[in-house]
Amino acid sequence: MKSLQHFSRSALFGSVAAAAISFAAISTPAMAQSVQEQFNQANAQLEALTVMNDQLRQRIARQEQLIVEMAESIEHAALLSDEENSPLNDLVERMMSGIEQFVEADLPFELDERREQVARIRGLVDNPQAPLAQKLNLLIALYQAEGGYGRTLQTYESTMEVNGVEQEVTITRVGRIMLAYQNSDRTVTAVWDKAQDGWVELPPGEYRTAVTRAMNVASGTLAPELINIPVHAPGVE
């Protein structure tokens, strides 16, 4: 019995040992494969995180640049919108006063329309709720429009008092050099005299003919040509 028991224990130990060795032999490659798979997954995650980190870094850099640009824009907008402290306020007022004086001292062509335009912008300039940028833009546009008159010819119909009678007249402007009119039957031709601040009727002759030709050029019925026009010389009476 003892011998049998001993054999049984030995056989059992041997069987367990063999099973353990067999299990180890079978499990080691599987475990190694599992570890390799985990490593590969971790490595892939690391690479993905690295790429994501680079993308986030670039995005943050772009956002920081955008914040800087927005801050500059806000600062600029604040400068334009600060009605009390902006140094541009004085510039706006000087520009407005200057164009008002200029239009009143200029040749009186289309004066009602130009005065109306100036008055409209003056109302905006005096409005504390109006954006400063809008005031500047409109003033610049007005200066450009007024400056353009000095480089153009213009003719248009109007009515005015001629020799005490309201008549239809054709007014012609040559830049800011000459402003003249003729009545409908061309019996009266006059030019604006800055020195006298009024209309001066021209006698029949060369200058009246020159004004007629200037009117035809301005209206497009005559090709452009050199014309001797009556111009008041400063300091000459």
The arrangement of strands across the sheet holding 198-201 comes to: 153-162, 165-174, 178-183, 189-193, 198-201
Asked whether the predicted pLDDT for residue 234 surpasses 50, the reply is: no
- Could you tell me which residues are beta bridge partners of residue 189? 182
Residue 22: pLDDT band by 50, 70, 90 thresholds?
A: very low
Q: Give the model's pLDDT for residue 26.
A: 45
Helix (H, G, I), strand (E, B) or coil at 191: strand
For residue 62, is pLDDT > 90? no
Q: Is 160 left (phi over 0), alpha (psi -120 to 50) or beta?
A: beta
pLDDT at 57: 63
pTM confidence score: 0.60
Query: What pLDDT, on the 0 to 100 scale, is given for residue 7?
Result: 37
Of 187 and 48, more confident: 187
Mean residue pLDDT of the chain comes to: 76
Contact yes or no for 83/105 (Cβ under 8 A):
no
Is the pLDDT confidence value at 77 over 60? no
